[in-house]
Amino acid sequence: MPKIPSAMSDIEEQSWLVRIEAKFKRAIDIKMPTTVDLARQLAKKYPGPYDINQICAIYEYLVAQWKYVDDPRGIEYIAPASISAKNLAGNCEDFAALMAALIESIGGQSRILIASSQKEWHAYTEVFMEHDCIWLNLDWTAHHAGGPLFKGTLERVIYPGLSIPLTHP
C-alpha cells in the first residue's frame, strides 16, 4: 500500500479508508469461475469439508508463488481476485483480496485488516477458525499461517462475507 501522506487530515483518511473498503469488496469476486476454480484446485489436496489443511494449502501456494509488484504511481488499484488468480502478482492489497476470495470460495469466513505504521499502510487477511473461535493471520509477510501480526495501528476491518461472528474485535 502507499506511503502515508503526512498532510492527510482525519477526515481525508476516513474517506480514503471508505473508498479502499469499497474497492476490496469489489475485488473479492467469489462468483467468478477463475477464483472458485483456483480455490478448489488448491483445497482438493485435502478433500472433504472445509478445514485448516485446505486453508494452509491455499496460503502456502500463494506465498510460494506470489510476486510483489507495485501499483501504478498515484493510483490505489486493487485487482479483482480472478485476475490475481491468473497473474499471482501485485501488492499486499491484491494478495489480501485474493486470499480472502479463495477462503470464501471454499466455505470459510475471512476478513481484511488495514493497518498503518509510521511509514506505510498494509493490508492482510485473517480467517475465522470456528472450532477455536479465533482469527488466524494469513499475512504473506508472516511467511506461515498464524505467523506474527503486522506491527502497526489497526485502522479498518473489512468483512467480505455477509455474516460477522460475535467474536470480532
Q: How do residues 21-39 score in pLDDT, each as one tens digit?
A: 899 999 999 999 999 999 9
- Can you read off the three cell numbers belonging to residue 41? 484446485
Task: Indicate if the pLDDT at residue 11 is higher than 70.
Answer: yes
- Give the pLDDT confidence of 64-78 residue by residue, as tens digits: 999 999 999 888 899
Instruction: Tell me the pairing of strands 89-90 and 67-68.
Output: parallel
Q: In the prediction, which pLDDT does 162 show?
A: 54
Task: Indicate if the pLDDT at residue 2 is higher than 70.
Answer: no
For the structural domain made of 10-158, what CATH number should be given?
3.10.620.30
- Can you read off the three cell numbers belonging to residue 16? 480514503
What are the φ and ψ backbone dihedral angles of 89, each rounded to 5 degrees? Answer: -150, 150
Q: How far apart are CA 39 and CA 34, in angstroms?
A: 9
Residues of the chain with pLDDT > 70, as a percent, come to: 90
Q: What angle do CA 8, 12, 17 make, to 5 degrees?
A: 110
Q: In the prediction, which pLDDT does 168 show?
A: 46
Per-residue confidence at 167, pLDDT binned at 50, 70, 90? very low
Q: In the prediction, which pLDDT does 121 show?
A: 87
Q: In the prediction, which pLDDT does 16 show?
A: 80
Q: What burial class does residue 58 get, using C-beta atoms within 10 Å of its C-beta: 0-12 exposed, 13-18 middle, 19+ buried?
A: buried
The span from the first CA to the last CA of the chain, in angstroms, equals 23
- What dihedral angle (degrees, nearest 10) is formed by the CA atoms of 29, 62, 110, 93? -70
Closest CA to 29 of 71, 67, 84: 84
Residue 102 or residue 166, greater confidence:
102
Q: How far apart are CA 28 and CA 161, in angstroms?
A: 10
Q: In the prediction, which pLDDT does 82 show?
A: 97
- Can you read off the three cell numbers belonging to residue 169? 474485535
Q: What is the pTM of this model?
A: 0.89
Average pLDDT over residues 55-67: 97
What's the mean per-residue pLDDT of the chain? 89
Collect all residues with Cβ–Cβ distance below 8 Å to 157 and sequence separation of at least 6. Answer: 111, 112, 113, 114, 168, 169
Average pLDDT over residues 52-70: 97
- Give the pLDDT confidence of 115-130 residue by residue, as tens digits: 988 878 899 999 999 9
